[in-house]
Amino acid sequence: MNHSPTFTLLEAKNWQDYELLDSGDGLKLERFGKYIFARPEAQAMWSRALPLSEWNNVHAIFQPTAEESGGHWVEKKKLPEKWEMTYPLLNIGKLKFDVMTTPGRHLGVFPEVASHWDFMADLVQKANRPVRVLNLFGYTGLASLAAVAAGAQVTHVDASKKSVSWARENQTLSGLSDKPIRWIVEDAVKYMQREEKRGMKYDGIILDPPKFGRGPKGEVWEVYKSLPNLFEICRACLSNNPLFVIATLYAVRASAIHVAQALGEIMKKYNGNMDSGELVTRETSANRLLSQAVYARWSAK
């Protein structure tokens, strides 16, 4: 059954270890744990609210190169190789995970997607039945940990062996080592093609694809060309009684409406609700909203 999506500016409001301190002039100032970082943010087209002294009081600044995601960190104060952060997941407990600076300007967590963690953990808890969840492009595993902490069985897929190792370490940090997560280092499309042939079914699917990427054997991922095909394979791998499907897209020109319509195509035979919009973070300095990604998510009625 097809439903018109609602449009939402979705904030992750439960963070204590993360804070968007300020943004402007193409930059954002953030706190990860007790450490402060400045990173490029092209969409911050306004002026900075905090004085320059605050912006100079950082532990590291990311200096981009001409390449879209290239660059390096310039350390201004002594940083540990990695440090621990936590996220309070609903009434379940705290997720614990390591963060660190990486060559790709990220630190191992995308704080704005935490609202998805709460959303799906709540659905899994309330389902009162076994729930099988698939996390594609799972990165450092925080969505996988949220789902398994709520009681789901999880399959986590990422093409990066390093990211999967990091995710497994986060599982141990969170005290969830005894919980059922299958860790798969594989190209997402190839893995799903095999899952379809095997007749595997999932009650929940999380898709967090990059704009561009390569699989472990050189497989090319281009979001506009590759995502429609992956959506179709996901449709074939949905159970008869799915609980949710969540898709989040970063650094693309697609509207949330487009993502919702594409997702709606594969969910039209199911009775549920479609929500779409932007993942936003609110500054603590000037109370402005910074849009980080577009998303669409379907959930069962």
pLDDT digits (tens, 9 = 90+) for 144-193: 999 999 999 999 999 999 999 999 999 999 999 999 999 999 999 999 99
* Residue at 57 is within a domain: no
276 close to 256: Cβ distance less than 8 angstroms: yes
Assess if residue 38 is contained within a domain: no
For residue 119, what are the CA distances in angstroms to 158, 183, 204, 213? 22, 22, 12, 27
Tell me whether residue 49 is exposed, middle or buried, using C-beta atoms within 10 angstroms of its C-beta: 0 to 12, 13 to 18, 19 or more: middle
Q: Is residue 96 part of a domain?
A: yes
Average of pLDDT values for 33-44?
96
- Reply yes or no on whether the pLDDT at 1 is more than 60: no
- Whether 48 is in a domain gets the answer no
Q: What is the domain count for the chain?
A: 1
Residue 60 maps to a domain: no
In this structure, is residue 64 part of a structural domain?
A: no
User: Dihedral through CA 213, CA 214, CA 219, CA 225, nearest 10?
Assistant: 10
Give pLDDT, residue 226: 80
pLDDT at 127 over 80: yes
Residue 180 falls within a domain, yes or no? yes
| CA distances, 261 to each of 240, 255, 296, 297 (Å) | 21, 10, 9, 11
Q: Residue 6 half-sphere exposure, CB side, CA atoms within 13 Å?
A: 8
The β-bridge partners of 28 are 23, 39
Does the pLDDT value for residue 69 go beyond 70?
no
* Closest C-alpha to 30, from 40, 16, 20: 20
- pTM of the full predicted structure? 0.93
**What is the CATH classification number for the domain harbouring 197?**
3.40.50.150
Residue 286 near residue 247, CB atoms below 8 Å:
no
* 299 band by pLDDT with thresholds 50, 70 and 90: very high
pLDDT confidence of 214, banded at 50, 70, 90? Answer: confident
> Which tokens go with 79?
């940083």
**At a CB cut-off of 8 Å and minimum separation 6, what does 56 contact?**
none
- Its domain, for residue 155, covers 6-15+80-300
For 122-126, 192-196, 222-226, 266-270, which range has the lowest pLDDT when averaged over its residues?
222-226
- Whether 277 is covered by a domain: the verdict is yes
What is the pLDDT of the chain when averaged over all its residues?
93
Q: Quick one: pLDDT band at residue 228, thresholds 50, 70, 90?
A: confident
Cα radius of gyration rounded to whole Å, the chain: 19
